[in-house]
Amino acid sequence: MKFWTSIKWRKLLRSLHRDLGYFFVGLTCIYAVSGLILNYKIEGKDPAFKEVITNKKLDRHISVSALKKNWKLWLPDAPKCTRVIPIKKLFRIYVKGGLGEYNPQTGKLTLTVYKEKPIIKFINNIHYNQGKRFTWLANFFAISMLFFAISGIIIVKGKMGFKKRGVWIMIGGILVPLLVYFLF
pLDDT digits (tens, 9 = 90+) for 109-153: 999 999 999 998 888 888 888 778 888 888 888 898 898 888 888
Q: Name residues of the chain where pLDDT drops below 70.
A: 1-6
pLDDT of residue 113: 94
Instruction: Report yes or no: 124 and 113 within 8 Å, Cβ to Cβ.
Output: no
pLDDT of residue 8: 79
pTM score, whole prediction:
0.61
- The confidence score (pLDDT) of residue 110 equals 95
